[in-house]
């Protein structure tokens, strides 16, 4: 890499690729935010997306349409989320254990179904898989720089950013969102005002599964038109890191997702310049550690600042006789 200058790496195509790479992470992040606000930290995001990826391919082959594939993925992920909800909410299983189990089951289930349905091992790629087509935005695509950056993406790329706005509106601008957040913040207070807390937890997990279906569909019908074993490659775990970084807020969490997407795109670009593959593969996860470290430092400073302000208030307040 000694003869390669920085400008040959940091091109507009790299940033456009970062938007595509961030798309499944953003979808999973928004879904995880919903369940997290009900008090359930959903560690099954990885498994949900993997299930969505497989059934999107199955639906595309069966219906001959990427939208049919998306429908299959949505149904499959909603079923998976419902299983999660029943195990945790009805059978009282620990949500972390259930989530980890769902991830393991997703790997085994998709590998089995890949062999049982398509009679192949590891990878399924065929012309029968109909993926989404790139969309050129009228007028925008003719503008230099902006057109190259924002136009020519798949429909789900644009919808991932729309989903951030939708999640923000639902959570912070509707009574439903207020009730949902109240369950995670103070479940006793929520019950005292008549909120059906179990139902809200069901809603949170189902929305989580729904959005993961979009992320999984993007991986197999947009980013690639194929299904491969464990093709989510840790993106569900990156989504959980993004949720932690953004403290369950849609926009900051989306920014973390974009950072991870950029790291992923940069790793792919660096492969062209002879960088050792071990370092390239490690880059997105190294970025995750850095982001979480920064998040922890900022949170600690904010906590100390609040404590200092509270101490000043206590000192300034005169004691009552």
* Residue found by looking up tokens 């928004």 in the block: 30
CA distances from 265 to 8, 58, 66, 181 (A): 14, 27, 24, 34
Q: What is d(CA 10, CA 49) in angstroms, rounded to the nearest whole number?
A: 29
* 69-90 average pLDDT score: 97
| First-residue to last-residue Cα distance in the chain | 74
User: Closest by alpha carbon to 156, among 73, 76, 79?
Assistant: 73
3-state helix, strand, coil in the chain (%, to 5): 75, 0, 20
User: What CATH architecture does domain 6-312 belong to?
Assistant: Orthogonal Bundle (1.10)
The answer to whether residue 289 scores a pLDDT higher than 80 is: yes
* pLDDT confidence of residue 215: 96
Contact between 53 and 231 (Cβ < 8 Å): yes
List pLDDT tens digits, range 136-167. 888 877 787 788 888 889 999 999 999 999 99
Strands (E), 137-246: 227-228
List pLDDT tens digits, range 84-116. 999 999 999 999 999 999 999 999 999 999 999
Q: DSSP string covering 261-292, please?
A: HHHHHHHHHHGGGT--HHHHHHHHHHHHHHHH
* pTM score of the predicted model: 0.89
Dihedral over alpha carbons 205, 206, 207, 211 (to 10 degrees): 100
User: Closest by alpha carbon to 245, among 293, 282, 306?
Assistant: 293
The answer to whether residue 1 scores a pLDDT higher than 50 is: no
Q: What is d(CA 29, CA 75) in angstroms, rounded to the nearest whole number?
A: 19
* pLDDT confidence of residue 114: 94
With H, G, I as helix, E, B as strand and everything else as coil, classify residue 123. strand
Angle at 96 between CA 46 and CA 176, to 5 degrees: 80
Angle at 269 between CA 268 and CA 270, to 5 degrees: 95
Contact between 122 and 112 (Cβ < 8 Å): no
Using the Cα atoms of residue 30, residue 35, residue 40 and residue 46 in order, give the sign of their dihedral.
Answer: negative
Q: What is d(CA 263, CA 242) in angstroms, rounded to the nearest whole number?
A: 13
List pLDDT tens digits, range 191-232. 998 999 999 999 999 999 999 999 999 999 998 899 999 899
Q: What is d(CA 216, CA 112) in angstroms, rounded to the nearest whole number?
A: 18
Domain layout of the chain by residue ranges = 6-312
Contact between 205 and 99 (Cβ < 8 Å): no
């Amino acid at each position: 890499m000694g003869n390669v200058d920085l400008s040959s790496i940091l091109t507009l195509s790299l940033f456009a690729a970062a938007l595509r790479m961030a798309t499944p992470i953003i979808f999973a992040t928004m879904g995880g935010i919903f369940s997290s606000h009900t008090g359930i930290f959903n560690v099954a995001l990885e498994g949900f997306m993997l299930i969505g990826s497989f059934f999107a391919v199955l639906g595309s082959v069966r219906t001959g349409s990427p939208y049919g594939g998306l429908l299959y993925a949505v149904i499959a992920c909603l079923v998976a989320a419902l299983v999660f909800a029943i195990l945790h909410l009805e059978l009282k299983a620990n949500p972390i254990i259930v989530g980890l189990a769902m991830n393991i089951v997703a790997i085994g289930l998709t590998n089995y179904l890949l062999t049982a349905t398509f009679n192949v091992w590891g990878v399924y790629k065929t012309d029968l898989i109909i993926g989404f087509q790139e969309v050129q935005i009228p007028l925008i695509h003719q503008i230099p720089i902006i057109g190259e950056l924002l136009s020519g993406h798949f429909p789900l790329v644009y919808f991932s950013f729309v989903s951030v706005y939708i999640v923000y509106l639902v959570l912070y601008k509707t009574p439903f969102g207020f009730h949902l957040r109240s369950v995670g913040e103070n479940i006793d207070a929520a019950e005292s005002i008549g909120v059906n807390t179990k139902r809200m937890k069901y809603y949170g997990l189902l929305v989580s599964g729904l959005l993961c279906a979009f992320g999984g569909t993007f991986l197999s019908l947009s980013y690639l038109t194929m299904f491969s074993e464990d093709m989510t490659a840790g993106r569900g775990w990156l989504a959980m890191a993004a949720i932690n970084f953004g403290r369950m807020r849609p926009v900051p969490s989306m920014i973390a997702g974009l950072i991870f997407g950029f790291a992923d795109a940069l790793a792919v670009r660096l492969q062209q310049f002879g960088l050792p593959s071990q370092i390239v593969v490690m880059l997105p996860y190294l970025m995750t550690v850095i982001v979480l470290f920064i998040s922890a430092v900022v949170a600690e400073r904010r906590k100390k600042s609040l404590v200092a302000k509270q101490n000043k208030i206590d000192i300034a307040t005169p004691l009552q006789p």
